[in-house]
Amino acid sequence: MKYGFVNVAAAVPTVKVADVDYNVQQVESLIAQAEGRGIEVIVFPELCITGYTCQDLFKEQLLLDRAEQGIIMLLDFTRKLDVISIVGAPVVINGLLYNCAVVIQGGNILGIVPKTYLPNYAEFYEKRWFASAQDLNPIDLYFAGNSVRVSVEPQVFVTSDGMKFGVEICEDVWAPIPPSNNLALAGADIIFNLSASDELIGKHAYLKSLLAQQSARTVSGYVYASCGFGESTQDVVYGGNALIYENGKLLVEGSRFSIQPQIQMCQIDIEKLRVERRQNTTFINAQRGAVAREIQCRLITPRDFELLRQIDSHPFIPKEEDMQSSCEEILNIQVAGLAKRLYHINGTKAVIGISGGLDSTLALLVTVKAFDKLALDRRGIIGITMPGFGTTDRTHNNAMKLMETLGVTIREINIAKAVTQHFEDIGQSAKVHDVTYENSQARERTQILMDVANKENAIVVGTGDLSELALGWATYNGDHMSMYGVNAGIPKTLIRFLVSYVAGEMATETLLDIIDTPISPELIPADEQGNIKQKTEDLVGPYELHDFFIYYFLRYGFSPKKIFLLAQRAFADIYDEETIKKWLTTFCRRFFNQQFKRSCLPDGPKVGSVSLSPRGDWRMPSDASSSLWMKECEEL
């Protein structure tokens, strides 16, 4: 700082959601440019190390661990640099997750500032993942190889030449009493704000007005950096604001909606600001402190690890002693959900596609129970079997027998003629058994169900299950779509047990044969003996493995390495390591790639501790990067 001028910058890197390695590289590149241009302090957007829009991926331990490693990489990169860098990262403190600013210089962490005011509205649901600094007791935190004092009290950073600055994060500045008020009163000349503000009509002008007022009110410099290109555009767009103010005056404004990374630099006159403060009789200096509780940690020497506990290979399946009560409760939840929907719309009819497989069987059983609960005539349930090119006699016969046994209205509509006409319309050869061949059949069936429902003033009851949703094993706008999905919270392994439970009550051979039938969408013609040729588990892997992966990935956020370790123990006598690794890799790839299908799911009841509803338990950007998880799978 010479003559009171300080060179500051707001940086907007390009990011990839949940790709820490890529994001750190982008941040390092901009830090290097800042050092070369003589910038003294540079601020980056909120949570730029991971990407702001990770949503429920912030529950994943792998992402949090990798974020800390990313900070370590930045520390090593800046070891010989003078520039002070302020970056956003998720930090676990006392077992809770905080949205933090990490202040770095010369390979050291100077401080960590947790966010105070967390939004919980519209597109921002930070309270879902993060704790507030208001709830934080002072603590000496060991993070990224540094011991750092973290607390809610104002932290003012002082450079060797006497310049003072403070940090607040995004929503903090929108609060009635922003942290920057206290920071300025405590002597901070410049406030740096790490933000993630989406673009809406009129919002940018309001934001600029707000920042100008705050800069003027605190008689300070105000440097604001908000995330931009690369953040998820699933529901909103982030324009990448870079704004620098001095006592209410806008000095520099970046280029919004740029797809290139940018640094906006200028000088702030600290001496001028201090004079203004001294002449402003209403501006007073104040400090407030807090008594910190010291926590001493002992370093434990690492040793070879051995897993000593037993691991349940089927975590979704009720224990034997609880089987009856658990199955009854699960079915009651499904039935109550559908019954409420029917009651709400004064519905007396439901349409459901019956394939003779497990999923449609359970959905039909639930629908029958819901109609019985509401004292509705079962004939208002229109079961439609729609044989196609791959339908076998076994599944067709089971579908017909099941509907007859349950006393529902039976319709059979062969889709072969309609699909063949569709193939002609779009120029698809019936001899080419590709994804178009398969999906055309699934969408034709869904069209039939929807149109019959319209004609009968009914709703379409969906049959897809939790396992299929996790893997994306559904045709988009085909079997993926319904008006109420009763199986959305039930994994495939549990469906088999539920149908077995009902089979025990009904004592029907049909249900027992359905349970023993290989799982298949039957979209490829049968073999020469008329047996199912297309077996789902041959293509995507055993459902018992995938359900195991789903449970530990979603319920606990375990990394692929830990899930692999647990699976090795759970399936030691069933699958070898290479098989587990193969299907775990498949799971991770498909889970990320198929999120777009889950982002627009129909309503359906949550049943257990794991759900993939985009309105409830799992909110994830459809364009999040899977690279962290895929890299770890490669290292197994």
Catalytic residues, by residue number, are: 46, 115, 170
Among candidates 200, 51, 43, which has minimal Cα distance to 627?
51
d(CA 331, CA 487): 10
Torsion of CA 203, 98, 162, 193, to 10 degrees: -10
Q: 157 φ, ψ to 5°?
A: -90, 135
Among candidates 245, 241, 265, which has minimal Cα distance to 254?
241
**What are all long-range contacts of 618-622, with beta carbons under 8 Å and residues at least 24 apart?**
618/56, 618/554, 619/55, 619/56, 619/125, 619/128, 620/54, 620/55, 620/56, 620/57, 620/595, 621/17, 621/53, 621/54, 621/55, 621/232, 621/234, 621/595, 622/232, 622/234, 622/595, 622/596
The first and second tokens of residue 244, run together, are: 């620098």
**CB of 508 within 8 A of CB of 405?**
yes
d(CA 339, CA 307): 46
* CB hemisphere CA count around 162 (13 angstroms): 8
**Three-state secondary-structure class, residue 287:** coil
Q: 215 φ, ψ to 5°?
A: -60, -40
H-helix or E-strand spanning residue 594: none
Q: 460 φ, ψ to 5°?
A: -90, 125
Is 253 exposed, middle or buried (CB count within 10 Å of its CB: 0-12, 13-18, 19+)? middle
d(CA 446, CA 350): 14
Torsion of CA 406, 412, 414, 418, to 10 degrees: -120
Among candidates 70, 137, 63, which has minimal Cα distance to 102?
70
Q: How far is CA 181 from CA 177, 286, 542, in A?
A: 7, 10, 58
d(CA 588, CA 461): 29
What is the per-residue burial (b if ≥16 Cβ within 10 Å, else e) of 574-583? ebeeeebbbb
Among candidates 90, 135, 98, 128, which has minimal Cα distance to 114?
98
Q: How far is CA 475 from CA 166, 440, 443, 523, in A?
A: 51, 9, 7, 11
**CB of 361 within 8 A of CB of 515?**
no
